Amino acid sequence: MSETATPPVLELASVTKTYQVKQGMFGKPKPLHALSGVSLRLNRKDVLGLVGESGCGKSTLAKILLGLEMPTDGRVLVDGREIAPGERRLLARRIQPVFQDPYSSLNPRKSIEDIIALPLLVHGIGDGAAREQAVTRMLDLVGLPARVRRGYPSQLSGGQRQRVAIARALIMKPEIVICDEPTSALDVSVQSQILNLLGDLREELGLTYLFISHNLAVVEHLATRVAVMYLGQIVEEAPARDLFAGPRHPYTTALLESVLTPDPSLSVPDTHLGAAYPNPISPPPGCRFHPRCGKVRDICRTTPPPRVEGPEGHVDCHLYSAAPTH
């Protein structure tokens, strides 16, 4: 991985998140490892695409970055400084989310103006007039007409609601925006408008994004780097141009093949992976991907793959290990 003169604006270092979950009414709680030793670095003005199927831990990771969940182990660093549990407010001012579903993430009983201004109110920023001005600026920034401010979410289209959600995130002037599947609840025709808006805002405001998606095609629009997640682990990370030109991990290849279909829809891809996604309570031994991997070897069934570092990323797979495989 390339060295940077300044520390990453945001970093996860060996973060683990374990939940205790019960199976059935009388079952004993069992550990579910949502994240297993995840390390990620987000450099200023980068767009890091985080890709993987549902249930792989992407949203848990987003919640940890937003301070909504605490890691079981590992560290979260902002500008190289570890964020302690009591510093969530600091995170909230610098990192803002845009969630998947603009239908449920906007309070239907609040006016658009109140929704967008809410973060300022919560953090006690500005008086009424200043907040009103800030809302006007934000509506303009996200391409919504000023008249919608007195309206309610039910009066807007899906794309307009997601623009409201983006305005609400940006009113805090965050440096980092965590976009968690921001287009997957939208019609295909609207998805590219929102992706273009996010791209334009990044240029205009110098934003850094963590862009979470189950779909590599969506990430390709924006990402400068891509991290691929499988069952709570990052299995490949690389600059976007390299990853799309030459994916290395078999799971990345499968994800890419799933979006290189004639169907231009950006909906849930069919990963053609055969075996179902494993239960994270009892992940497969060895390489967690081995039951679905077309290139599986004997060693993969028993031994976790090593991390093979490259000049600008890594891949976790026995195929690239210097040690002989069987």
Nearer to ligand SF4, 153 or 305 (CB): 305
- Please state the closest distance from residue 19 (CB atom) to ligand SF4, in A: 25
Q: Which ranges constitute the DSSP H helices of the chain?
A: 58-65, 88-94, 112-122, 128-141, 158-170, 188-205, 216-220, 240-245, 250-259
Residue type, 107: N
Q: Sheet containing 73-78: which strands, arranged edge to edge?
A: 30-42, 10-21, 73-78, 81-82
Based on its alpha-carbon atoms, the radius of gyration of the chain, rounded to whole angstroms, reads 21
- Please state the closest distance from residue 294 (CB atom) to ligand SF4, in A: 8
- Please state the closest distance from residue 130 (CB atom) to ligand SF4, in A: 53
Q: Sheet containing 307-310: which strands, arranged edge to edge?
A: 95-98, 176-180, 208-213, 47-51, 225-230, 233-239, 313-316, 307-310
Nearer to ligand SF4, 225 or 292 (CB): 292
- Please state the closest distance from residue 236 (CB atom) to ligand SF4, in A: 9
Nearer to ligand SF4, 219 or 300 (CB): 300
Q: For residue 230, count other CB atoms closer than 10 A to its CB.
A: 25
Nearer to ligand SF4, 250 or 269 (CB): 250
Nearer to ligand SF4, 177 or 256 (CB): 256
Q: Report helix, strand or coil for 235.
A: strand
**Residue 288 to residue 135: CA distance in whole angstroms:** 47
Q: Which residues here bind ligand SF4, judged by CB under 6 A?
A: 249-250, 287, 289-290, 293, 295-297, 300, 305, 317-319
- Please state the closest distance from residue 302 (CB atom) to ligand SF4, in A: 11
